[in-house]
Amino acid sequence: MPEVATGSIKAALRRIEPYLWEIPSSFDPAMRVPARVFATARMLEEIIQDRALLQLVNVATLPGIQGAAIAMPDVHEGYGFPIGGVAAMDYETGVVSPGGIGYDINCGVRLLLTDLHDAEVNKWYPQLAKELFRKVPSGMGKGGKLKLSIKELDAVLNGGAPAVVKMGFGTETDIQYLESFGCIDFADAGAVSARAKERGKNQLGTIGSGNHFVEVDRVEVIYDHAAAKALGLFHGQVVVLIHTGSRGLGHQVATDYIKTMLHSLDRYGIRLRDRELACAPIQSEEGQRYLRAMAAAANFAWANRQVVTAEVREAFRALFGSDVKIRICYDVAHNIAKVEEHDVEGERKKVVVHRKGATRAFPPGHPEVIEQYRSVGQPILIPGSMGTASYVLVGAPGSMKRSFGSTCHGAGRKMSRRKALKTVRAAELLKELESEGIYAQAGSMRGLAEEAPIAYKDVHSVVDVVDRAGIARKVAQLRPVAVIKG
């Protein structure tokens, strides 16, 4: 299938709601559903600078896609699917595409709550940054202290976060505050290649490189006091965000199955606009095996964040004593496919929702929101950049009508890593951050420069769009005070 011209997409965009735009399915004969993007008019001018919306149109051509191909305001170009994309595929007739989940399967965010107040401990932030950097291994390919046998690794792939809790990393209470309770039960370690296991066996308890981090924040602004109280947040509170995923293991799972699915396209009569959209029918052998492998990698990521949590607790206790309380508020994935039920054009359907750079945003009362938070909705964790702010949101009813229970996942890049390296001097960035009371530790100056705040979109604007569009609701704004990067 030939690709459409990027320029014509701008002309095709129509505003259908104050913060929702549509490229109608009539735009391209190959589109099965419309393509929609949550944004302001000003944001759209930035979004159309790369191929993100062209990729979204391509997603709308995939077999079995339901409703619409959807992009969030933090959308930018990715592999096959745009980052910040959502696509729901009919469980019986649709396809599953590794590009719709991404290479870092179950990259996600965890929020830890302490009982410390910023006013009591702010003089300790430089030392805390150093202690966290010592305790939490970071950097490209960096392994951790936990060395697993293949048998032990398989137990983690099948059992997720509960498996490492049994090894002593945390408590049973921790598990109650994780999406899917930290384990997808149809995971199959046998569907994960030996190469993937070799890459992952020493990486539990590590954050890696790129945009992954451990970040200490203080609660700066509370927008919804009732929801904040339900989540355990208070003004001035010291909290911690952990952002990492399935490391080399997840990357290899994606690599393996993209190759497998490219070879099986002809067998299933699938023609693609872009080979990066490699896919297989959900009900095929390849589709089912990928879903089991993806679930295993997702379980690995939840286990990884669980071990990092234990390392963060060690760092805090080394400075503030064993009495400091640190509990999990929530842990949410933003690169994953989930089997869910949604209303599509008046019919209840079982679908596989691909979320790539997007997070669940289930509203109050939804049965998959944990009981502790069901009255306020699912917590949503939105990291910004290390020099700006992060947000805590909760799901809103509009997400079920407009976005398959989904919202944004972060600020979203606006500058390539290569351009950031040419633009930013890491040493100057460190000084600038410190002058603002933000203490950073990084495995490499290159990695720090790549993740400079100017490389990202305005997180405040992104969050305002999803709040005003009614798919999520602002609860609190967090300000970084100490950041650990790979």
Q: What are the catalytic residues? A: 409
CB 208 within 8 A of CB 251: no
**Crossing angle of helices 247-264/285-320, nearest 10°?**
170
Q: Compute how many other C-beta atoms are within 10 angstroms of the C-beta atom of residue 427.
A: 11
Do residues 320 and 287 touch, judged by C-beta distance below 8 A? no
Specify the 3-state DSSP secondary structure of 312: helix
Judge whether 192 and 253 are in contact, CB under 8 Å.
yes
Q: What is the DSSP string of 97-163?
A: -GGGT-SSTT-EEEEEEEEEEHHHHGGGHHHHHHHHHHHS--STT---S----HHHHHHHHHH-HHH
User: How many angstroms separate the CA atoms of 73 and 460, rounded?
Assistant: 11
Going by the DSSP 8-state scheme, the letter that residue 206 receives in this structure is -
- Residue type for 16, please? I
**Between the CA of residue 65 and those of 9, 132, 148, 352, what are the distances in Å?**
20, 44, 40, 9
285-320 and 125-135 helices cross at what angle (nearest 10)?
A: 130
Q: CA-to-CA distance for 424 and 407, rounded, in angstroms? A: 30
Show Cβ contacts of residue 433 under 8 Å, excluding neighbours closer than 6 positions. Answer: 386, 387, 439, 440, 483
Number of residues in the chain: 486
Residue 7, judged by CB atoms within 10 A of its CB (0-12, 13-18, 19+), counts as exposed
The C-alpha R_g of the chain, in whole angstroms, comes to: 21
Structure token pair of residue 367: 């049965």
